[in-house]
A and B are shown apart, each in its own frame.
Chain A
Amino acid sequence: MSSHREAPEISQDPVADNTDCYAFVSPDKPDTVTIITNYVPLEDPPGGPNFFEFGEDVRYSIYVDNDGDGKPEIEYQFRFKTRLRNPDTFLYNTGQITALNSQTWNRRQFYEVTKVNHKRGKSKVLGSDLASPPCNIGPRSTPNYPKLANAAVHRLDSGERVFAGQRNEGFFVDLGSIFDLGDLRPLQNLHLIATSPAMGVDATATLNVHTIAIQIPIKKLTRDGSVPSDAMSAKAVLGIWGAASRRKTRVLDKANDERAQSGPWVQVSRLGNPLFNEVIVPMGEKDKWNAVHPAGDKSFAKYVEHPELAKLLPVLYPGVFPRLAKLKAKRADLVAILLTGIPKGIVPGFQNYTGSVLADMMRLNVAIPPTKSKPSPLGLLGGDAAGFPNGRRVFDDVVNIELQAVAGLTYPLVNPDYKPDDAASALTQGLTPGKNRYQSAFPYLGTPHNGFDTPSGPKG
């Protein structure tokens, strides 16, 4: 998965598990950037009566680095509180939820947004008591879910828009196949343990996730308060990532509702580029990676320079990747994509280079306008500079992009003499996400599946 249950420790702490991070110039509001960080992986929509929610004891952060040092200048923090109307029922709702203040909605969540300016050492609460929508339960309980979700989009006096609540899982992947010894269903007849080729299976097609989304005027994020128009300017590039933190200690006393917390906030999860911790960092280092900031990523660079997956592909697909098998040099192409950004002069008219500091951040060049007509889900590899790895849009096919990159397709960017294997560009998980997965307006991830209709029809 992009970063769903990707490390041993965080796999046991779903409400703090940052599963995806998206950052893009808003297509319908191009003077703003939308940043989305998702939590609570693999939500099965019927999961009541205790439906999914954010953690009250978790501090959710969205970080922005605007000077390339791998450290945040700006942070948006989100903290949640749960309110119970009636403790004497086991039900999430005792009737229809038709509005965010419905008396029949028993267990609700509210949140506070704080902006921290790390450069000035100041913080300011931008919004309090902001309501999250309920989970999408079913046609009896949440008959008009889009109305509830729209009501939960809040405009802050400071100019940002925020949303925090359940959404349709945007990340699509053939999970069951990929982790079955790196099988890619369309190519599985070529696998070391071959079976007949078949269409890919979208393992997250009927799942939901909990989304924290914020839309921010670009001028609030750049180092000089400008809205850059020159894509070659260093100040046009932002480094973006999400993280979750918990207090260092928690004391449980007698009963679970008697708890105390103390000590500094300790980061337990983070995510910039998709799949970084998932498939680049080895098992023994994953928890450590989740605990550090991007500025400390130099120690993980060796895993990018010589990715394990690039060694596995020629073994798993005998004879399919002969040139990749011989490629022993450091993968400077992957270092550029994941750790420094792509310098100018590599891709005509494009750069998202943040300097020599090796840091896993989503790098977004805000001077590249959104692609409105037929954006390519393959992003930069598909000739669309408004997509991954220039930030990441909700529909970008990051699995295919990274598979092809690791397989050697992007290595000619740093060594024009290298000719990728034919299979590198053909590598695919064979998936196309359904149209209801996304929406054209903030928060851009589609209406979550309701528990009554999902999964639809009988299961075997």
Chain B
Amino acid sequence: MENLSRRKLLASAGVATGAAAIAAAPSVAQAALDHPEATDPSGPPPEETIVAYVRDIKRNEVTVMSGTGEVTYRDPVLVKRLVKAAPSGSTRK
């Protein structure tokens, strides 16, 4: 499996600039993160995309795939946010 660091993952997703902006204006960014906005997709998915899924809610495990790499993190905050963002009716165990 290819080595896939979180920093590399964020960079490949083009999130690094956003992260820098968050650091510069923490209050605004925090507010935005607390209230994710539901939206229609703006276009088709890229041929290669980043996919994340909650692998185990109880253990706070989330698996992130990019390219042919895959890393499973233990990240309570991210898991909590994804569970919160999940549409109602989804399985939550």
B-contacting residues of A (Cβ < 8 Å)?
A: 247-249, 251, 253-254, 258-265
10 A-B pairs closest in CB distance: A263-B65, A260-B45, A258-B44, A260-B49, A262-B51, A262-B65, A249-B51, A253-B45, A264-B70, A264-B68
Query: Could you tell me if A262 and B67 are in contact, using CB atoms closer than 8 angstroms?
Result: yes
For window 9-51 of chain B, which residues contact chain A by CB distance below 8 Å?
41, 44-51
Contact residue among B41, B44, B48 (Cβ-Cβ distance under 8 Å from A262): B48
Docked CA distance A264–B45 (Å): 18
B77 sits at the interface (CB 8 A): no
B76 sits at the interface (CB 8 A): no
Min distance, Cβ B82 to any Cβ of chain A, angstroms:
15
Nearest residue (CB) in B for A258 is: B44
Min distance, Cβ A255 to any Cβ of chain B, angstroms:
8
Other contacts beyond A249-B65, A262-B49, A263-B68: 12, CB < 8 A: A248-B70, A251-B45, A251-B49, A253-B45, A260-B48, A261-B48, A262-B51, A263-B51, A263-B65, A263-B70, A264-B69, A265-B68
Contacts A248-B70, A253-B41 given; indicate if A264 touches B48 (C-beta within 8 A). Answer: no
Which secondary structure dominates chain B's binding surface?
loop
Contact residue among A254, A261, A263, A265 (Cβ-Cβ distance under 8 Å from B44): A254
B60 sits at the interface (CB 8 A): no
Residues of B within 8 A of A261 (CB): 47-49
Query: Could you tell me if B47 and A260 are in contact, using CB atoms closer than 8 angstroms?
Result: yes
For window 56-71 of chain B, which residues contact chain A by CB distance below 8 Å?
65-70
A-contacting residues of B (Cβ < 8 Å)?
A: 1, 41, 44-51, 65-70
Docked CA distance A259–B1 (Å): 23
Query: Could you tell me if A253 and B44 are in contact, using CB atoms closer than 8 angstroms?
Result: yes
Nearest residue (CB) in A for B2 is: A264
- Most A CB within 10 A of own CB, among B1, B44, B66: B44
Query: Could you tell me if A260 and B65 are in contact, using CB atoms closer than 8 angstroms?
Result: no
Min distance, Cβ A454 to any Cβ of chain B, angstroms:
38
Contacts A249-B65, A253-B41, A253-B44 given; indicate if A262 touches B1 (C-beta within 8 A). Answer: no
Residues of A within 8 A of B66 (CB): 262
- Most B CB within 10 A of own CB, among A254, A258, A263, A265: A263
Docked CA distance A248–B48 (Å): 12
Min distance, Cβ A264 to any Cβ of chain B, angstroms:
5
Nearest residue (CB) in B for A261 is: B48
Docked CA distance A85–B80 (Å): 48
Residues of B within 8 A of A251 (CB): 45, 49, 51
Docked CA distance A247–B65 (Å): 10
Residues of B within 8 A of A249 (CB): 51, 65
Docked CA distance A247–B49 (Å): 12
Residues of B within 8 A of A264 (CB): 1, 65, 68-70
Docked CA distance A260–B51 (Å): 9
Min distance, Cβ B90 to any Cβ of chain A, angstroms:
16
Residues of B within 8 A of A248 (CB): 65, 70
Min distance, Cβ A250 to any Cβ of chain B, angstroms:
9
Residues of A within 8 A of B69 (CB): 263-264
Min distance, Cβ A316 to any Cβ of chain B, angstroms:
45
Min distance, Cβ B67 to any Cβ of chain A, angstroms:
7
Residues of B within 8 A of A254 (CB): 41, 44
Residues of A within 8 A of B47 (CB): 260-261
Docked CA distance A249–B64 (Å): 11
Docked CA distance A255–B53 (Å): 22
Docked CA distance A260–B47 (Å): 5
Docked CA distance A260–B65 (Å): 12
Min distance, Cβ B84 to any Cβ of chain A, angstroms:
22
Docked CA distance A260–B48 (Å): 6
Query: Could you tell me if A260 and B1 are in contact, using CB atoms closer than 8 angstroms?
Result: no
Residues of A within 8 A of B68 (CB): 247, 263-265
